[in-house]
Amino acid sequence: MELFETKKGLGQALESDRERGLSIGFVPTMGALHQGHLSLVERAARENDRVVVSIFVNPNQFNDPNDLKNYPRTLDADKALLSAMACDYLFVPSIDEVYPEPDTRKISFGSLETVMEGRFRPGHFNGVAQVVSKLFDMVRPERVYVGLKDFQQYSIIKNLVSRMDLPVSIVACDTMREADGLAMSSRNTLLTTEHRAVAPQIYRILQEARVEAGHFTPEEVQMHVKEKISSFKLLNLEYFEIVDELTLLPCTDWSQPGNKVGCIAVYAGSVRLIDNIFFDK
Ligand code: AMP
């Protein structure tokens, strides 16, 4: 594995790979790597000749300065994990390397960015779009691997790629979970013992919602999820919404065409966790 801190160095290595006709798969991350990230790297390695992983904690996508300050940073451990995997290039740029000048672009996504995460994290997806468009430009991959755990982010990235007409495929990867069902997340390491113990209830309640979907309306299922989460005093629900997979607009009737996905954001203490469940898959 080669480590690059500059886009020029990475660009030169990739250029010579491209000249040799090698395909490039890219896994953008913010580090503090876990098995969820590694599953993306494994898939990228199966489907491409070269794998690039980036680690960059993008300040522009944090709407809460404390979240940015506390975000886990474990670069040495990340390097050790990746060097044991089929990662060819690790790209760890500085903030100045990514943003030599402030990025003032406003990239709007209509209703995709105003619901759920967008409602509670103003500016978040604009920051995601800024960094993703810059990284895609630096790496110019054939395929990019993203997790369905961040379902709305996946929708935004797909939309960005089709709008900018970029020659890149976005590959959606399943959510990796701990043995007790908790979706793996870099933020899990910030949970206290008590909050870590209760956090698996989130996915358990989502699974119950999927069972309930056969018997109740979407509105009733949403209400039940809210009630169940609030029965745990260590969990604080921010939202649970059942939405159309493509438009992210609320599903009011199960008979509406298209797949539906239930998306949730919950505070476990000061740690914000997100997860989702597909109702039709
Ligand atoms: P992050 O470092 O949190 O920005 O995540 C980098 C990529 O890994 C994103 O595409 C995430 O959706 C994906 N990812 C994060 N957690 C998981 C997980 N538990 N399973 C699969 N992919 C994940």
Q: What is the pLDDT along the chain (281 residues), one digit of tens a residue?
A: 999 999 999 999 999 999 999 999 999 999 999 999 999 999 999 999 999 999 999 999 999 999 999 999 999 999 999 999 999 999 999 999 999 999 999 999 998 999 999 999 999 999 999 999 999 999 999 999 999 999 999 999 999 999 999 999 999 999 999 999 999 999 999 999 999 999 999 999 999 999 999 899 999 999 999 999 999 999 999 999 999 999 999 999 999 999 999 999 999 999 999 999 999 86
- pLDDT at residue 85 in the model: 97
Q: How far apart are CA 100 and CA 43, in angstroms?
A: 32
Residue nearest to ligand 1 atom 7, measured at CA:
29
CA 211 to chain centre: 26
How many angstroms does the Cα of residue 183 sit away from the middle of ligand 1?
A: 10
The catalytic residues are 37
Whether 237 lines ligand 1, by a CB cut-off of 6 Å, is no
- pLDDT at residue 245 in the model: 96
CA 281 to chain centre: 20
Beta strands in the chain (DSSP E): 2-4, 24-29, 50-55, 89-91, 143-147, 169-173, 235-244, 260-268, 271-278
Residue nearest to ligand 1 atom 14, measured at CA:
147
Whether 43 lines ligand 1, by a CB cut-off of 6 Å, is no
How many angstroms does the Cα of residue 55 sit away from the middle of ligand 1?
A: 12
Q: How far apart are CA 140 and CA 120, in angstroms?
A: 32
How many angstroms does the Cα of residue 140 sit away from the middle of ligand 1?
A: 20
- pLDDT at residue 280 in the model: 84
pTM: 0.97
Give the number of residues written for the chain. 281
Please compute, for residue 186, the number of CA atoms within 13 A of its CA located in the half-sphere on the CB side.
Answer: 20
- pLDDT at residue 281 in the model: 64
3-class state of residue 260 by DSSP: strand
